[in-house]
Each structure stands twice: as structure tokens, then as C-alpha cells.
A and B are shown apart, each in its own frame.
Chain A
């Protein structure tokens, strides 16, 4: 190895050192972004669980009430009351699609351009 190629090698290794340092910093940024994004998804998941629990509890209570009224309607042979109880269940069921759409978006929604 002659002198010039030796100096050239030293300088090239310097360039490679800069390049590897830049790559290392980019890798650190990527890891940090991943950590933040994981936390973001974890938070979203917790929120989605709370939404779902609440929705379930609300609907359970309404459903129990509607069933109780339906029983009363059958006992008293009141068709209007039975219709009203069924309408309550129907109204409750109508809220399902929109809620679950938002719920799954919250649970599995991902950001673009990240």
C-alpha cells in the first residue's frame, strides 16, 4: 500500500464514519418514533375499551328495562306497551353500527404519512 492510497483510505474511513453517525441518528429517530407511536396506539386502545364498556353497560340496562316492560305488557295484554318496549330495543340496536364503526376506528385506526 503506497502513501497516497493510505491517506485516501484514512479520509474515506472518515467519510464512512460521518455516514454511519448519520445512519445511527436516523435509527435513533426511528426508534423514538416507534416508541411514541406505540404509546399512541396503547392510549387509543384504552380509550376504545372504555367506550365499549360504557356502551355495553348502557345497552344492558336499557335492554333489561325493555324486557321487564315487555313482560309487563304480556302480563297485562297491552300491545301498545309491548310495541313501545320493542321500539326501545330497536332504537338501542340502531345505535350499534355507528358506534362500532367509531369504536373499531379508534381501536385499529392508523395514521397515514408516518
Chain B
């Protein structure tokens, strides 16, 4: 009798996935199958509700965080706005004080010129010589020109408050955010 040797290639397989073995359920009757299906539907539904609640909680937390951040941002904006307005007010008061002083100085000087010219005019009427009056008028003209020049410089200087930088030249929100 001839011995037949069957040569077989084999490899060893180590099944490490012992824990993930799913239960094999064999329903013995249609009623049991229905009950099992119903139970799995209920279980799935319950899981979905749990997941939905988790998502909802996460969303609520995120929203509360956003709301809190928004409040902080708005408070910062308000504080910075008040600061800028205060800065503008202080600068404006300073400018106005400077302008008022300068105006008073100019008008005092003008009054001085006018008084001198009036006195010179009275004297000139008696002597019938108005050369001093003419000279003083020339001086007044020079003063008027000088005043005009410096006054324009003051207007130009006080026009620049640096506000464009604070209000966002180059960015949408500027200093405020």
C-alpha cells in the first residue's frame, strides 16, 4: 500500500483580538428575533441621545465661552474708547487754552499799536505832521502780516491731533482692538 504524504504549507496565526469577539446570537423563534431587534433599536437610540447631549453640552460651553470673551472684548473697546475721548478732551482743552492766550496776547499788542497811533494822530493834528502816524501804520502792517503768518502756523499745528493713528490708519480697528 502506497503511503501518500500530503505536503502542506502552514503559518501560525496568533489571534490577539480575543476581546473583540462579538456574540453570535441565534434566535430560536421569530418572536425572539423581533424582541432582539427592538432591544438593539432602543439601545442605538439611547446612544444617539447620549451623543447628542454631549454635543449639546459642548456647544453650550463653547457659546458661554464666546459670550464671556465677547463681553471682555466689548469692555476693552469701551475702556479704550473712553481713554481716546479723554485724550482728545485733554488735548482740546490744552489747545484752547493756548489759542486763547495767544489771541489775548495779539489783541493786547494790537491795542498797544492802536493807542500809540491814536496818540500820535492827536499830536500830528496839532502839528499838522503825520509822518509818525504813517510810520506807526507801517509797523502795524508788519505786525498784521507777522500775526497772519504765525496764526496760520498755529492752526496747522493744532489740526494734527494724531487721531488718525488711533482710529486705525492701516487697520480696520486701529487702537481700539
Q: Is B67 located at the chain interface by the 8 A CB criterion?
A: yes
User: Would you call the interface of chain A mostly helix, strand, loop, or mixed?
Assistant: helix
Chain B positions within 8 Å of A46 at CB level: 92, 96
Q: A25-B77, A50-B96, A87-B141 are in contact. Are A81 and B155 (CB under 8 A)?
A: no
* Least CB distance, B146 to chain A, in whole angstroms: 10
Q: Mark A94-112, 1 if CB is under 8 A from B, else 0.
A: 1100110011011001011
Chain B: interface residue count, which band?
A: 35 or more
A3 touches B48 (CB 8 A): yes
* Listed A/B pairs (8) with beta-carbon separation below 8 Å: A18-B66, A37-B163, A78-B130, A80-B130, A84-B133, A87-B141, A105-B155, A113-B169
A102 touches B156 (CB 8 A): yes
Chain A positions within 8 Å of B156 at CB level: 102
Chain A positions within 8 Å of B95 at CB level: 43, 47
A40 touches B110 (CB 8 A): no
Chain B positions within 8 Å of A113 at CB level: 164, 169-170
Question: B145, B155, B166: which contacts A95 (Cβ < 8 A)?
Answer: B145
A47 touches B70 (CB 8 A): no
Chain A positions within 8 Å of B144 at CB level: 62, 88, 91-92, 95
Q: Is B152 located at the chain interface by the 8 A CB criterion?
A: yes
**Residue of B at shortest CB range from A2?**
B48
B88 touches A72 (CB 8 A): no
Within 8 A of A (CB), among B80-111: 80-81, 84-85, 88-89, 92, 95-96, 99-100, 103, 106-107, 110-111
B55 touches A7 (CB 8 A): yes
The segment from B8-16, B20-28, B35-43, B56-64 that touches chain A is B56-64
Complexed CA–CA distance, A76 and B172 (Å): 69
B62 touches A54 (CB 8 A): no
Within 8 A of A (CB), among B134-177: 134, 137-138, 140-141, 144-145, 147-148, 151-152, 155-156, 158-159, 161, 163-164, 166-170, 172-174, 176-177
* Least CB distance, B143 to chain A, in whole angstroms: 10
Chain B positions within 8 Å of A98 at CB level: 148, 152
Which 5 A/B pairs are nearest by Cβ-Cβ distance? A95-B148, A32-B81, A43-B92, A91-B141, A54-B103
* Least CB distance, B48 to chain A, in whole angstroms: 5
B141 touches A88 (CB 8 A): yes
